[in-house]
Amino acid sequence: MSQQRLLPIDPLFDPPPGWLAASLPEYTAVTRSIMQLAGAAEDPASFDKAREQILRERWLALTSVEPNETRFSIIVPVHNEEIALPSFLGALLASEVPADADAAVIFIVNGSSDGSAQVIRNRLARIRPVMDTILPRSRVDLQRSATANQFGLTESLRFLVVETPVPGKANALNIGNEIARAFGHEMAMNIDANNWVEPDSLARLYSCAHRHINRGAYPNTVIVNAGEFYADRRSTAPVTASPRVQKAEVTGWMFAWSTQWIHDCGGFPQGVIEDYGAGLLALSQGRQIAESGARIWGYAAANPFEESQQMVRFLYGAMQLSRHFSSDPNAMKILLEDFPNLRPLMGRFEHHFLRKFKAGRPITLARGLIRWLRNEILALRARQKLYRDPNGQTWEPVYSTKFGLSAAERLPTESFVARMGYALAGKILIYFDNLFDFLDRF
């Protein structure tokens, strides 16, 4: 994205090594082209002109769409991401999007109790003039701010900071979709605020979504996925794209959708797995989910306790969706295939235990039983969360995916007792995971 010359380099805290390896050659090649075009001219403006020309050429080459004919919105839900935002913004602002594209980057700061909004404003004020703009009255969130801080001019690359006291990514995406439609954008995309996009990721996702959604060449396609690359803090092994293991799986970190379609459906399903909910909504209607060449990076949970924490969240969200789609047999069929833990007791037992049992392997039988019991415990925790908060949209942060392994030591709100409990639970689950691996060798 276009910036003024000689700005300080954004601090890229803790990016995955694979993201650096994939992105640095692209940064280097584009920078070299800009410097060659700018030449040795004394006029500082020549650098900015060269950058814009190279970005226009690069965008056209990647998308086959002229920059001045490009129209889309990027929705960035932000909930207490003050620590991660500088690094996220560093990667986002280095994206290859020309300044004359009609592109709106909309930060929806939702229910944040930290300084996330101010971090965004301070960074954007260095690259664009700011003005207050009046937003159309929201029908999805009456508590949303009536105005937004807009950095940049309308009908060009601009950034908006919108605030709401209502927490939740689904609500934030629905607010963003509403604003995108007000701008006349047929397509919008989501990027999570604690991940890293490669320099050409936005162009590659836009290119695929433009073919499938804007042009209507594939009228049944309403969602386009990016590839997720989960780095493991415990390993330096090369990272490959996370495989799709569920029918309705949507890349929560980064995906694009038809703004009119999600509006006609009444918005993203409210819950903690709104991305999967959108995919379920699409497939239940006979729609399709396409895959793009865009790539986004982040960290996987670093220990078994946090892996279990994430599983509880997914099950909690699936249970919310089972209530939402209870009268839709198509959706329920897909949901039960993707989440076996929602099946009746005997169905869960068959999936996790009997289905994997191999004749003459008694140790495998024991392992399957332990795994089944573990899944039952996770499902029980999810049901407890559903009972306490049936409409919740937020969940406990998985620290190692956001702030690194020592996050609990850096966050003063985390009590000593809670940290010790996390550590003990993690050690217990690590023990059982090692036991499973040992048993599986026989």
- Domain ranges within the chain, ordered by starting residue: 17-300, 306-440
Residue 411 in this model has a pLDDT that exceeds 60: no
Query: Per-residue pLDDT averaged across 158-179, rounded?
Result: 97
C-alpha distances out from residue 151 to 56, 109, 191, 279, Å: 21, 16, 19, 32
Query: Per-residue pLDDT averaged across 142-170, rounded?
Result: 94
**How do beta strands 158-164 and 254-258 pair?**
unpaired
Which one, of 268, 231, 232, lies nearest residue 252 by Cα? 268
- Cβ pair 69, 215 in contact under 8 A: no
Residue 378 in this model has a pLDDT that exceeds 80: yes
pLDDT band at 8 (very low <50, low <70, confident <90, very high): very low
Question: What are the pLDDT digits (tens) for 101-146?
Answer: 999 999 999 999 999 999 999 999 998 899 999 999 999 999 999 9
What is the pTM (predicted TM-score) of this model?
Answer: 0.88
Which one, of 95, 101, 107, 202, lies nearest residue 157 by Cα? 101
| Mean residue pLDDT across the chain | 85
User: Poorest-confidence range of 27-36, 183-192, 265-274?
Assistant: 27-36
pLDDT band at 229 (very low <50, low <70, confident <90, very high): very high
**How do beta strands 221-231 and 147-151 pair?**
unpaired
Q: d(Cα 116, Cα 106) in Å, to the nearest integer?
A: 14
Pairwise pLDDT comparison (374 vs 44), residue with the higher score: 374
Helices (H), 216-289: 259-264, 274-284
Pairwise pLDDT comparison (157 vs 364), residue with the higher score: 157
Tokens of 99: 């300044």
Residue 36 in this model has a pLDDT that exceeds 90: no
C-alpha distances out from residue 381 to 325, 337, 385, 396, 405, Å: 22, 21, 6, 13, 24
Residue 4 in this model has a pLDDT that exceeds 60: no
CATH class of the domain whose range is 17-300 = alpha beta
Q: d(Cα 323, Cα 309) in Å, to the nearest integer?
A: 22
